[in-house]
Amino acid sequence: MNGATWHEAQSAPADLSGPDGWRDLAERFGTPTYVYDGDWLAGNLHALRAALHPALEVFFSLKSNPNRAVYDVLRSAGARAEVSSLAELRTVLDAGTDPADVVFLGPGKSAAEIEACVRAGLYAVVCESLPELALIDDAAARLGVRQRVLLRINPAYSVAGSRLTMGGKPRQFGIDEAAVPPAGALIRSYRHAVAAGVQVYMGTRILDHEVIVKNTAYVLRLAEHVAESTGIALDAVDIGGGLGVAYFDGEHDLDLDALAAGINPLVEDFARRHPGTRLLMESGRYLTAPGGTYLMRVRYIKESMGDRFAVADGGTHHHMAAVGIGSFVKRNFPVELLSRPVPPDAEAGPWTVAGPLCTPNDTVAKAVRLPDLAVGDLLGVRRSGAYGPSASPAYFLSHGYPAEVLVRRGTAYLVRRRDTVDDLLSRQATHPDLTAPALH
């Protein structure tokens, strides 16, 4: 891998506790901007690690927020890394992460990705199919090393309570539970790809601790069965995760104490029976979502057929999840007025908060209760630290990626500068022939 191209972030004093601080941030860095609360990120991870059994290692899924500075904060608070692309891998290695604390996962790894994992000496490649195992073996043989592999299992069982279930169905992810025992001899035949563990990911956005406890019990048992039926060692078991956060009315955050009370005895029991086995948990959303606010400014106020609209400078292109594209029904992320103190007796009425894109889908919040809004007001979409711009169509209408700011210990750092028009156009190409007159 080549040298780093990271820049040192510009910084300024910051305070997220009141309207003055938010107005300062917007003035200094512009809008729309993602603002991450680094103190929250670190504190939340510390709380999670303190609640869970110490044998359970927390791996941060960079997919949920690939910003290097966010990762730096989480890493310094004890997170390990789960990555799924060359850029994510480079991010964590450039940050100085010990390769022994990195796993790489994904159903369609390229030869270049596999080779990069093996070269870097990652703790494990999570293998999603038997043909992939052969490719990992080839790459490791060429480089003359042995590469640890965790077998991702597509479980025969499905969990209720996850918003996106991963088990009990045909999937592109992992190897079917039933297909593993017959493949034992093949799996053991590879000399350079050493299968020595199991990974299972049962779903995402799980808010019921009992579902996660049941999943964990299932995965730990499954890992033992896989080891017994194939004869592989259990250097590690990755129990997945899928810890959810509440976004919508009627949802409640995961009860961390209840989760710990359910999971820790399972971990304790397993660790006692398998003292040398590492236990991994993966988490993205839970580690980042509540720590992020999408900050946008109201550009226009208008009324249409009795409904009040605030048209803001942010929308779908940066925050597809809040807009609800791909969701069955539009539900509102929490939206707040941040630039002015709101008197407790202020009348809150229904507003539609729309973005700047030329599509009716570009609606950030519908019938949301907000005080009387005015042009120039700053709105914050809360709980936006996960699956934000990197999971949105940032090029739609060619507005590009927003700025990202991280606030840590009273200082705001510009951790990604906003795309410029030059950034956006510089990757396109044309040719004089394309405007030449037709020959006949």
Ligand X SMILES: *Cc1c(COP(=O)(O)O)cnc(C)c1O
Q: Which residues bind ligand X (CB under 6 A)?
A: 61, 63-64, 105, 201, 204, 240-243, 282-286, 386
Q: Which is nearer to ligand X, 205 or 318 (CB)?
A: 205
State how far the alpha carbon of 302 is from the alpha carbons of 298, 325, 333, 353, 370, in Å: 11, 24, 22, 11, 15
Q: Which is nearer to ligand X, 31 or 204 (CB)?
A: 204
3-state SS, residue 108 = coil
Shortest distance in whole angstroms from residue 60 CB to ligand X: 9
Q: Which is nearer to ligand X, 104 or 294 (CB)?
A: 104
3-state SS, residue 205 = coil
Shortest distance in whole angstroms from residue 158 CB to ligand X: 16
- Residue ranges of the alpha helices (H) in 11-59? 19-29, 38-51
Q: What are phi and psi of 245, to 5 degrees?
A: -130, 150
Residue 260 CA to residue 263 CA, distance in Å, equals: 5
Q: Which residue's entry shows tokens 């601080």? A: 21
Shortest distance in whole angstroms from residue 357 CB to ligand X: 26
Q: Which is nearer to ligand X, 286 or 413 (CB)?
A: 286
Shortest distance in whole angstroms from residue 150 CB to ligand X: 11
Report how far Cα 194 is from the mean position of its chain's Cα atoms.
28
Q: Which is nearer to ligand X, 192 or 285 (CB)?
A: 285
Residue type, 294: Y
Shortest distance in whole angstroms from residue 332 CB to ligand X: 20
Q: Tell me 257's DSSP state.
A: H
State how far the alpha carbon of 196 is from the alpha carbons of 59, 278, 391, 403, in Å: 18, 11, 32, 42
Q: Which is nearer to ligand X, 31 or 44 (CB)?
A: 44
Q: What are phi and psi of 226, to 5 degrees?
A: -60, -45
What is the dihedral sign for C-alpha 224, 149, 172, 329?
positive
Q: What are phi and psi of 185, to 5 degrees?
A: -65, -40
Residue 155 CA to residue 167 CA, distance in Å, equals: 5
Q: 226-243 burial by CB neighbour count: b if 16+ within 10 A, else e?
A: bbeebebebbbbbbbbbb
* Residues near 383 by beta carbon (within 8 Å), at least 6 away in sequence: 245, 246, 247, 289, 290, 292, 333, 334
Shortest distance in whole angstroms from residue 240 CB to ligand X: 6
Q: Which is nearer to ligand X, 29 or 333 (CB)?
A: 333
Q: Which is nearer to ligand X, 82 or 137 (CB)?
A: 82
Shortest distance in whole angstroms from residue 252 CB to ligand X: 17
Shortest distance in whole angstroms from residue 215 CB to ligand X: 12
Q: Which is nearer to ligand X, 202 or 394 (CB)?
A: 202
Q: Which two tokens stand for residue 337?
A: 């007025």
Shortest distance in whole angstroms from residue 105 CB to ligand X: 5
Strands (E), 122-273: 124-127, 147-154, 164-165, 175-176, 193-199, 203-204, 236-241
Measured from the Cβ of residue 225, the count of other Cβ atoms closer than 10 Å reads 14
Shortest distance in whole angstroms from residue 64 CB to ligand X: 4
Q: Which is nearer to ligand X, 88 or 235 (CB)?
A: 88
Output the residue with the shortest Cβ distance to ligand X: 284
